[in-house]
Structure 1
Amino acid sequence: MQYRSTRDKSIKMTSAQAIAQGLSRDGGLFVPESFPFFPTGMLERMTVLPYVERAVTIMKLFLDDFTENELRDYAAKAYGYPNFDHRDVAPVVKTAEHTSFLELWHGPTCAFKDVALQMLPHLLSASLDKTGETKDACVLVATSGDTGKAALEGFCDVPRTKIMVFYPEDGVSDVQKLQMTTQQGGNVGVAAVTGNFDDAQTGVKKIFSDEKMRERLNARGYFLSSANSINWGRLLPQMAYYVSAYCDMVKSGDIAMGDNINFCVPTGNFGNILAGYYAKKIGLPIGRLICASNCNDVLTEFIETGVYNRNRAFMTTISPSMDILVSSNLERLLFDLSGGDDARVASYMKALPDEGRYTVSGEIMNGVKSHFSCGRCSDAETKATIREMYKKEHYLIDTHTAVAYNVLQSYRSKTGDMTKTVVVSTASPFKFCDSVLEALGENTTLSGLDLIDRLATFTGVRAPEPLRTLRGKAVRFSESFSKDKMPDVVEQFLA
């Protein structure tokens, strides 16, 4: 299977080349030249398989550079115990007749990014060998909180790689910051950026498009790659948990094979919900994909109006992983819904930095409306939702999952659609202890690690081991830089 750039479809690569490179040199994102459809009986067969085999089945559809045995080996290493503390890896928890939660936070960093970022290092390392690449990979990451730690953990001491993570200085939780700044490993680097996530993400993209810098790094024996969801090797494993959730619901008898279900996804960079769209595209029976936004509701406004407009105040919220105004993966959806019109997509992507906005065609908008619904949720509503879920169901959710559940409730109230729906739960509530405790009416004047203990004591819910063991770890990375210094930071890191 060939992969092409969303901005110039004449650029084509194998899956291994696309994974190794991460981002196309024209700034576009790699997408499959075609999408396979589930062969007859495949979905039925997957219902009785464990998560590892389900993931292998999905990835093999798109990665013909890799053997099934290779993918099985990578998946076993990525998703086995103790990497993931739940035997189902991504369990589905039913809380009401029509509502379930897909828990994606049982991995080593307690966030959904683990599902992809425990797999990506294996795919990238193998891709270097398969493509005959002689240089080592320098993996650059911009994070709004969870991607950074998950990538650091996944790439820690992986041969032939170095990884540099940039995070917004005041845009992550105390626990997220501590997870990143205490990271061990001889090939890792972490730096704060004075600004927001979009500043960090824009800085990384500029480095990728800087030809002179690439030449300097090449001379040192490095090429640039990405662990953000702009990398196909990061996005593909996310498709597997949508399929797995459906299979688990069939297996439990909650739905019958062929029934449609909805997914409600807390969304910032659009990668997570795009993986759901791609799962639907290859045959998973999904009705609506409900895009849940916090106050930074650029995606919800786009789905409602067809106008993508980043010219707005950036809001810092209690769901920081969604505090994003430039949603990179939306580009892949535009390419798909435009019928692969790379020139049109390139014009939209040029307008975004030049004018801060673009308006899509009627054709694309019709496609958006046929698959996606949306809604927004304030911080006050987020806290009320956490409190409501804990009081009524004794089920503890984090600030991002609460945004999704609130939006789902609003969607049902407006539409009357009671299709069985899976809320995608993206992080452990213990990563956002201060906000969760405040929502529950408890003391939040303690420090980050003491807050973990307080939340566990108050709720009777045991904190995940990776967070409990943060206590006593030494901070290794404490520097912050302006976004214009990011290229210098990378070059110093590789010196």
Structure 2
Amino acid sequence: MKFISTRGKGEIISSSEAIIKGIADDGGLYVPVEFPKLYDNLKKKMGLSYEELAYEIIRKFFDDIGDENLKEAIRQAYSGKFFVREEKNFLELYHGPTSAFKDAALLFLPQIMKAAKRKENINEEIVILTATSGDTGKAALQGFSNVEGFKVVVYYPEKGVSAIQQKQMVTQEGSNVKVIGIRGNFDNAQSGVKSIFGDNELKKKLKEEGFLLSSANSINIGRLIPQIVYYFYGYFDLVNKQKIKEGDKINIVVPTGNFGNILAAYYGKKMGLPIGKLICSSNENNVLTDFLKTGIYDKRRELILTESPSMDILISSNLERLLFEANNRDSLETKKLMEELNSKGVYSISPNAKEFLNDFYGDYANIHEVYDAIKYAYDKEGYLMDTHTAVGYVVLDKYRKETSDYRQALIASTASPYKFPRSICNALGIDISGKNDFEILNILRDNTNTNIPNNLKNLDKKEVLHNEVCDKDKMTESLLSFLRRTKND
């Protein structure tokens, strides 16, 4: 399998090269030259474990790594650390070390990067540069902590993540990790990281000093491909539980920020997985809803800080990969649209591309609808979900009422409710006045008779190891300062 850039420049490269580089030289994102039709083969193996299924799927994309290296990377990533569970049609993707769906990919990425680094005979230290709206940062820090040959720098909006998300990051141990808050929002952090990647002079200087830049955001194909696995796993689970028959189409519902998770579901559909509608669910930052309804992507609006902070995004990076498909893989058109977004803040797609989007449905949920959904699901079904998952739950209900399409649906449940305990207690009407988020964890546990994830217990007692904050235009300086200070540690 080879990989190409969505913007067309540059050569066709191997999977190990694409994984190491993260982003193409022309600023585009790597995509596979084709999608293997895997469903017909995999449906004969429905009893596979998550790890076995991951191997069957990922090996078709990352085939130059070597089968044994890939098996070892998967074992190191998932064995005893991560599992997926389907319950009441919620596909729970948060049973990992950071209690968010990002673990599925960010436990695997360091392992596959290590293998790719060996394959490419790279001696430089690889610097993983990541912007986070809350969950990616901690998952990247956790996955890469103390992995030899790598450093990790995470930027997060200082006032744009939950107290628990922030504490998870700033207490991260590891001699090779750095967490930096920025005075700005997630889009500022993401734009800053992309700007660093686009600075060829800087990259040249860093290479002379022994560093190569790469990314752990879902712009890295090494992070995106593993996310396909859980949609196959969830589908087969529905068949095994006799909720559907093999071959029945299901709808997939994803609370969406950077568009990576729902794109992985779309890739699964291209590989033959029987998916009907891909239901893209947004919070009040509903730029994707407007795009799917009108074909116009317009980021020229105020970013709203919500109680589903991982979705507080106005520039959904992975949408570029979908545009590439929607434009019949026309890299020049994709490049033009991305340049328009950068210079004007808006672009409009062609009628043919808009027709292509019929696989998708987009809508959004406000905080009142989210609270009502959390309370309803808990009171009526005994199911406790977080604010992001609730966005998906609300939008699925809107979709069904609008279309009368009541076929089975899987809702991607992307985070533990314990990552946002204040919001959950408010939704359930539990009195938490005067309590901090860490006291509220225990109140939520006691009131719902559910368990606090082990990784969030006693988080408040951990020592803060990262307290640097910088202006959004000083991100390069903070990166260089860290790298030079810790060179060859």
Q: TM-score range by the shorter chain?
A: over 0.9
Aligned to 2:285: 296
Determine the C-alpha separation between the residues in 1 that align with 2:219 and 2:157: 19
Instruction: Please state if 1:427 is matched with 2:426.
Output: no
1:42 is displaced (CA, Å) by 2.2
Instruction: Please state if 1:188 is matched with 2:177.
Output: yes
Aligned to 1:229: 218
Kept in 2: contact 1:7–1:29 (CA 8 A): yes
Identity of matched residues, %: 46
Choose which of 147, 151, 155 in structure 2 pairs with 1:158.
147
CA deviations 1:234-278 (Å, max 9, x no partner) are 000000000000111111111111110011100010000000000
Number of paired residues?
A: 483
Q: Give SS of 2:354's match.
A: helix
Residue range with higher mean Cα deviation, 188-197 or 210-219: 210-219
Aligned to 2:61: 62
CA deviations 1:385-419 (Å, max 9, x no partner) are 11111111111000000000000011111110001
1:11 is displaced (CA, Å) by 2.8
Aligned to 1:91: 85
Determine the C-alpha separation between the residues in 1 that align with 2:353 and 2:69: 38
Choose which of 99, 113, 119 in structure 2 pairs with 1:124.
113
1:129 is displaced (CA, Å) by 1.0
1:130 is displaced (CA, Å) by 0.6
Choose which of 364, 367, 370 in structure 2 pairs with 1:379.
367
Any residues of structure 2 matched to 1:169-248 within 5 Å, and which? 169-248=158-237
Instruction: Please state if 1:101 is matched with 2:90.
Output: yes
Instruction: Please state if 1:19 is matched with 2:8.
Output: no
Determine the C-alpha separation between the residues in 2 that align with 1:163 and 1:244: 30
CA deviations 1:206-257 (Å, max 9, x no partner) are 0001112112211110010000000000000000000000111111111111
1:478 is displaced (CA, Å) by 1.3
Aligned to 1:331: 320
Kept in 1: contact 2:126–2:213 (CA 8 A): yes
Kept in 2: contact 1:117–1:150 (CA 8 A): yes
Determine the C-alpha separation between the residues in 2 that align with 1:295 and 1:59: 34
Residue range with higher mean Cα deviation, 7-16 or 329-338: 7-16
Determine the C-alpha separation between the residues in 2 that align with 1:251 and 1:391: 28
Determine the C-alpha separation between the residues in 2 that align with 1:39 and 1:310: 37
Q: Give SS of 1:139's match.
A: strand
Determine the C-alpha separation between the residues in 1 that align with 2:11 and 2:372: 49
Aligned to 1:6: 6
Instruction: Please state if 1:494 is matched with 2:483.
Output: yes
Choose which of 423, 431, 441 in structure 2 pairs with 1:443.
431
Amino acid at match of 1:6: T
Kept in 2: contact 1:7–1:346 (CA 8 A): yes
1:471 is displaced (CA, Å) by 3.4
Determine the C-alpha separation between the residues in 2 that align with 1:39 and 1:179: 38
CA deviations 1:298-348 (Å, max 9, x no partner) are 001000000000001110100000000000000000101211100000000
Amino acid at match of 1:37: K
Q: Give SS of 1:477's match.
A: coil
Kept in 2: contact 1:44–1:257 (CA 8 A): no
Determine the C-alpha separation between the residues in 2 that align with 1:214 and 1:349: 22
Amino acid at match of 1:54: L
Determine the C-alpha separation between the residues in 1 that align with 2:471 and 2:296: 30
Kept in 2: contact 1:293–1:299 (CA 8 A): yes
Choose which of 329, 351, 369 in structure 2 pairs with 1:362.
351
Aligned to 1:28: 28
Kept in 2: contact 1:385–1:406 (CA 8 A): yes
Kept in 1: contact 2:38–2:57 (CA 8 A): no
Determine the C-alpha separation between the residues in 1 that align with 2:8 and 2:332: 7
Determine the C-alpha separation between the residues in 1 that align with 2:333 and 2:41: 38
Instruction: Please state if 1:133 is matched with 2:122.
Output: yes
What is the TM-score normalised by the length of structure 2? 0.97
Kept in 1: contact 2:6–2:334 (CA 8 A): yes
Determine the C-alpha separation between the residues in 2 that align with 1:44 and 1:262: 22
Amino acid at match of 2:371: K
Determine the C-alpha separation between the residues in 1 that align with 2:34 and 2:125: 30
Determine the C-alpha separation between the residues in 1 that align with 2:12 and 2:478: 31
Q: Give SS of 1:41's match.
A: helix
Alpha carbons of 1:39 and 1:462: their partners in 2 closer, same or farther (altered >3 Å)?
closer
1:9 is displaced (CA, Å) by 5.1
Aligned to 2:238: 249
Aligned to 1:73: 72
Amino acid at match of 1:414: E
Kept in 2: contact 1:142–1:165 (CA 8 A): yes
Amino acid at match of 1:301: D
Q: Give SS of 1:295's match.
A: coil
Q: Give SS of 2:373's match.
A: helix
Kept in 1: contact 2:69–2:115 (CA 8 A): no
Unpaired segments of 5 or more residues in structure 1?
95-99
Amino acid at match of 2:195: K
Tell me how large the CA RMSD over aligned residues is. 1.0
Aligned to 2:398: 410
Q: Give SS of 1:455's match.
A: helix
Kept in 1: contact 2:84–2:91 (CA 8 A): yes
Kept in 2: contact 1:116–1:235 (CA 8 A): yes
What is the TM-score normalised by the length of structure 1? 0.96
Unpaired segments of 5 or more residues in structure 2?
485-489
Determine the C-alpha separation between the residues in 1 that align with 2:219 and 2:246: 32
Determine the C-alpha separation between the residues in 2 that align with 1:13 and 1:443: 56
Determine the C-alpha separation between the residues in 2 that align with 1:439 and 1:39: 40
Determine the C-alpha separation between the residues in 1 that align with 2:297 and 2:455: 38
Determine the C-alpha separation between the residues in 1 that align with 2:11 and 2:345: 27
Any residues of structure 2 matched to 1:269-288 within 5 Å, and which? 269-288=258-277
1:135 is displaced (CA, Å) by 0.9
Determine the C-alpha separation between the residues in 2 that align with 1:152 and 1:242: 25
Amino acid at match of 2:2: Q
